[in-house]
Amino acid sequence: MALLFFSIQNAFRKKAVAALAVLGVAFGTALMTILFSLAGGMDHRVEGTFSELANRVTISGRDAIFGGLYLGMGTRPIPSSYIDTIRNIPHVEKVYSQVSVVMRPQNMDYVMPLFGYDTEEIHDLDNNPYNRIIEGAAPSNEKEIIIGKSLQEYMSLLNFHYAIGNSYPFIIMEGDRAKELDVKIVGVYQTGNEVLDGAFSGSEKLAREIGKIPEGSVSAINVAVDGVENVESTAKAIQQELSGKKPELQVVVPGEVLNPVRNILDVLGKFLMAVSLVAVVAGGLSIMVVMLLSVINRMREFGILKALGWTPANIVFMVLVESLALSLLGAALGVALGCAGLAVARVLIAEDIAALSWQVTVSVLAAGVLIGVAGGIYPAWRANSAAPVKILREI
């Protein structure tokens, strides 16, 4: 035990050298903490969207953008009468319509989705934005809307802040003419579905006015199936039932449309992990270099210790403990710096942009232990090679 405490104290005898080693490990583990947490945050968002869409089927026009994922946006409306036909198909639990349009904020060059809802029709749906308001209130008339949490965060990154209670001008088209429409944002919602949370939501009447969608037509029809295992068969049954209808339709399982996105995020997650491992290896090399220089400068000390009765195991143990102490301190500092960086990111970007779990923390600290052991092996071997007779002759 005395040797352990002596070794730990000895690790910090040369403060400048110790600080260099600690900072090298801290940089690697801080980067590891941030990147692993960012990957976890992305996975959390994607999984939330998948869970919301797992038992869904969407029917929209053939030319709807993103394969109908954006609920019929960008396509010709389809008859709402199809809803009665779909309700009679086995395993269909709920059916509701969607009126989806786009709005362009004044003085901006891009458009934003607006999902219009018949509040009576979707009142009992769990993923209804009106039931997932986290700030403010639901719209009380057709000139009020609510904004998805993700869209609000995206716009904040562009230095454009949508505040509850304020009215904002949007540009809509009436034939070949542009018209300004003022709408008031009264609430913020978060469903866990990035498709819905990256848009505005409001009344069906407002969406019809903006998109010039007549009564009896909708942008898309959403179907909730009674079980995930029945989604594919239900989609095929709907496809057969509506086959040959005009305008041409597409029946989409949103979960399948999002599979390429999941694959891309998996690749990105692996890339972030590779970057983290490179940073950690660099930290391990810094420990090895610092400890090796320390050992070379202390060869006389090791020779004298051996002459005084220290065993080779004592020398190896001391060097390994020194490197382990420096790496653990660096890992702890790295976790702290990583947490500080994540806190800043949550304020500036999004609250749920990263997910720091205890698994990430344990992994980073474990990496610190491995860095300490790996970085100290060669210096410990060099220290053990000190020859007492040769050292004493040089004194």
* pLDDT, tens only, 283-318: 667 666 766 666 666 667 766 777 777 777 777 777
Q: What is the pLDDT of residue 188?
A: 94
Q: For residues 340 and 345, what is the distance between their CA atoms, to the nearest angstrom?
A: 9
320 token code pair: 């390994």
pTM score of the predicted model: 0.65
- Average pLDDT of every residue of the chain: 77
Q: What is the pLDDT of residue 184?
A: 93
Q: What is the pLDDT of residue 189?
A: 92
* Residue among 91, 117, 68, 72 nearest 241 (CA): 91
Q: What is the pLDDT of residue 294?
A: 67
Q: What is the pLDDT of residue 59?
A: 84
22-60 per-position pLDDT tens digit: 777 787 778 778 877 877 777 777 676 666 677 788 888
Q: What is the pLDDT of residue 136?
A: 92
**What number of residues does the chain have?**
395
In the 8-state DSSP scheme, what is residue 213? Answer: P
Q: What is the pLDDT of residue 5?
A: 66
Q: What is the pLDDT of residue 187?
A: 94
Domain boundaries, the chain: 2-48+261-394, 56-226
Q: What is the pLDDT of residue 241?
A: 85
Residues of the chain with pLDDT under 50: none
Q: What is the pLDDT of residue 295?
A: 67
Q: For residues 225 and 180, what is the distance between their CA atoms, to the nearest angstrom?
A: 40
Q: HEC profile for 310-361? A: CCHHHHHHHHHHHHHHHHHHHHHHHHHHHHHHHHHHHHHCCCCCCCCCHHHH
From the number of C-beta atoms within 10 Å of its C-beta (0-12, 13-18, 19+), residue 337 rates as: middle
